[in-house]
């Protein structure tokens, strides 16, 4: 990467810093793609809207396996096509990510060449403005044993007693749409996690505590709490 490109890349990252991409998932219940980062979660209403990300983010996705528990063929095909397109240096225009364009900096000259100076500009990423409301199971944590943060998938896994199938959550804000009794269960169980996952795990714990203390749950009125 040329020096001037590196400088503009670092400037862009500073202004639009969401952190490293941890995982990406197709969520069938709200029919959208999600990208989880260190400090943010981005939602995309369509598969192709992911390609509005800068090329280096799309390249990073090729190194991660898509979480697609619903086995939606469209998402699986998209992930495969995107990976193949990277190998061919983005020759397929349909699956080509966003590359920056050069924009002249007005009234500025390069002191060495006495020519106009340029900067790299990225168009805004086509993320969803509002977090979709995830439909959650209601009153289902009666037999909860524990919850923990999974370092591999970067989800929180709720483990039940007996042989009940585990329940996974990618986004802490999904807790807001849980039943009051379920939120109480999460509040009373400390989350398990490895030291390296402290920030991500405690994000879930804090949301559960916030909902518990403020009486926020599925069916409650947010306006009445303020």
Q: What is the pLDDT of residues 174-215, one digit of tens each?
A: 999 999 999 999 999 999 999 999 999 999 999 999 999 999
Question: What is the structure's pLDDT at 111?
Answer: 76
Whether residue 134 has pLDDT greater than 60:
yes
The CA-CA-CA angle for residues 97, 42, 60, to 5°, reads 45
Cβ–Cβ under 8 Å, residues 27 and 34:
yes
pLDDT at 1: 45
- Spell out the domain ranges in the chain: 3-121, 144-225
Average pLDDT over residues 121-145: 91
Average pLDDT, the chain: 87
pLDDT in tens, 18-44: 788 999 999 999 999 999 999 889 999
Tell me how far CA of residue 119 lies from CA of 45, 81, 104, in angstroms: 30, 31, 6
Of the candidates 21, 36, 24, which has an alpha carbon nearest to the alpha carbon of residue 69? 24
d(C-alpha 221, C-alpha 218), whole Å: 9
Does residue 207 contact residue 186 with C-beta atoms inside 8 Å? no
> pTM value?
0.82
Q: Quick one: which of 207, 150, 174, 203 has its CA closest to 22?
A: 150
Interval 38-95: pLDDT, tens: 988 999 999 999 999 999 999 999 999 999 999 999 999 999 998 888 888 888 888 8
Q: Name the nearest CA neighbour of 42 among 221, 170, 196, 179.
A: 170
Supply the pLDDT for residue 18.
78
């Amino acid at each position: 990467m040329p020096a001037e490109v590196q400088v503009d890349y670092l400037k862009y990252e500073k202004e639009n810093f969401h952190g490293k991409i941890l995982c990406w998932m197709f969520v069938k219940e709200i029919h959208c793609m999600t990208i989880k980062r260190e400090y943010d979660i981005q939602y995309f209403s369509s598969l192709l809207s992911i390609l509005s990300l800068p090329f280096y983010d799309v390249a990073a996705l090729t190194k991660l396996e898509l979480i697609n528990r619903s086995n939606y063929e469209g998402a699986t095909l998209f992930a495969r096509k995107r990976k193949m397109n990277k190998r061919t240096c983005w020759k397929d225009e349909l699956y080509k990510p966003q590359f920056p364009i050069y924009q002249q900096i007005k009234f500025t000259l390069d002191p060495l060449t006495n020519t106009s100076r340029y900067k790299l500009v990225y168009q805004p990423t086509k993320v969803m403005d509002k977090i979709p409301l995830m439909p959650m199971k209601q009153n289902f944590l009666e037999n909860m044993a524990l919850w923990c943060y999974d370092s591999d998938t970067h989800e929180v896994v709720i483990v039940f007693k007996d042989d009940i199938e585990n329940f996974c959550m990618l986004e802490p804000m999904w807790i807001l749409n849980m039943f009051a009794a379920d939120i109480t269960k999460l509040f009373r169980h400390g989350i398990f996690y490895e030291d390296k996952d402290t920030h991500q795990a405690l994000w879930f714990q804090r949301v559960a505590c916030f909902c518990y203390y403020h009486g926020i749950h599925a069916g409650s009125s947010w306006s009445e709490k303020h």
